[in-house]
Amino acid sequence: MLKISIIIPVYNASAFLENAVTSALQLEEVKEILLIEDQSTDNSLEICRKLASENVTIKLFQHSDQGNHGASASRNLGLEKASQDFIAFLDADDYYLPNRFEAEKNLFQNSTIEGVFGAIGTEFLSEKGKKEFEEKFKNVALTTLKKRCEGKEIFRGLIGLDPTIGTFFHLNSLTIRRKSLEKNKLKFNENLRVHQDSDFITKLAYHCFLKSGIINKAIAIRGVHDDNRITKIKLYSEKYNERQFLLWNSLFEWSANLDLSKEEQNIFYLNKNSFQLSTESGLKKGFHLLNVFLKNPSILKTKYRFTYLQR
């Protein structure tokens, strides 16, 4: 039987936390639930203490200074404290379905498979949250990749080199061998306040052998409400481009010493510079553009024209 640690970052999630924890407790593979409380301003800490006192499977941790450090730092603390063979993640306002680890039971019998991911569904918990979410995302039914895939083809899909695969799967659907994370020294980038999940799974897909599990139906549910961070991000805005630059700059710096193809190197270089140019103006932008153009004229193609997300 799989033995899994579940890492749940907790910040102002009092309305949803018990449901998230209960959904994980009902699964026999779950041997440990790590609640990482991140200085909530509601009564989430009290709920965490209550849950931990009622069940030995549930363990409560806070940062050493009991301060607020964000989701990345909270997940990293969870990775440090996890003790089981496998690790899975769950956001405090989401929940697992009974089939959450159904594919993993079979796939992880193959020791070469280091991580498995699936699809998550969406539940709208408020009309405002529903409206904001639907304005930003076309497919609200499932967050998943487009087809079954494994190994390096997942990495190429995530960075946009294979449009038949898709560019994102949700962290709630990922299960990974703990020793694979430790071997590759994989952690979340604590300098990223958003998009840290995209950063993490892209790096994970390069270093570890991943395989798709159940991708045609949900294995977890994302709760969409008024306070979801993702619904507050305005697409095609200066702030959005700045955040995308931080993401692609993180990936560009990470990729510098990797054995990548020329095509893969170009993806990181062009995305990083395209989003950086979108945040600049005047002479600074002009000199930067000239320098990038001399190295890679593709920057002037439509997809990379200072940011291909502008309309």
Residue 278: burial class (beta carbons within 10 Å; 0-12, 13-18, 19+): buried
Token couple for 3: 């033995």
* Residue range(s) of every CATH 3.90.550.10 domain in the chain: 4-232
Segment 224-242 shows an average pLDDT of 65
In whole angstroms, give the CA distance from residue 114 to residue 184.
Answer: 11
In whole angstroms, give the CA distance from residue 88 to residue 59.
Answer: 15
pLDDT given for residue 48 in this prediction: 98
Q: How far apart are the first and last CA of the chain?
A: 50
For the chain, the farthest-separated pair of C-alpha atoms sits apart, in whole angstroms, at 63
Tens-place pLDDT, residues 162-173: 999 999 999 999
pLDDT confidence bin for 11, thresholds 50/70/90: very high
The per-residue DSSP string of 226-277 comes to TT-HHHHSPTTSHHHHHHHHHHHHHHHHHHTTS---HHHHHHHHHHHHHHHH
Q: In sequence order, what are the beta bridge partners of 115?
A: 176, 210
Token couple for 165: 């695969």
| Residue that has been written with the tokens 């499932």 in this structure | 142
- Residue (of 249, 201, 234) closest to 309 by Cα position: 234
- Residue with the larger pLDDT of the pair 238 and 258: 258
Q: In sequence order, what are the beta bridge partners of 137?
A: none
| Residue that has been written with the tokens 């799967």 in this structure | 169
8 Å CB contact between 46 and 13: no
pLDDT given for residue 311 in this prediction: 41
Tens-place pLDDT, residues 214-230: 999 999 999 886 666 65
pLDDT confidence bin for 240, thresholds 50/70/90: confident
Tens-place pLDDT, residues 15-24: 999 999 999 9
Distance of alpha carbon 105 from the chain centroid = 23
Token couple for 213: 């599990």
Q: Are strands 210-212 and 119-124 parallel, antiparallel or unpaired?
A: unpaired
Distance of alpha carbon 157 from the chain centroid = 15
Phi, psi of 141 (to 5 degrees): -75, -55
Query: b/e string for 35-57 if b means 16 or more Cβ within 10 A?
Result: bbbbbbeeebbebbeebbeeeee
Residue 231: burial class (beta carbons within 10 Å; 0-12, 13-18, 19+): buried
Residue 290: burial class (beta carbons within 10 Å; 0-12, 13-18, 19+): exposed
pLDDT given for residue 304 in this prediction: 83
pLDDT at 209 over 80: yes
Lowest mean pLDDT among 182-186, 272-276, 305-309: 305-309
CATH superfamily of 4-232: Spore Coat Polysaccharide Biosynthesis Protein SpsA; Chain A (3.90.550.10)
**Contacting residues for 70 by C-beta, under 8 A, at least 6 apart:** 38, 190, 193
pLDDT confidence bin for 96, thresholds 50/70/90: very high
Q: pTM score, two decimals?
A: 0.92
pLDDT confidence bin for 231, thresholds 50/70/90: low
pLDDT given for residue 68 in this prediction: 96
pLDDT given for residue 129 in this prediction: 62
Tens-place pLDDT, residues 40-85: 999 999 999 999 999 999 999 999 999 999 999 999 999 999 999 9
pLDDT at 294 over 60: yes
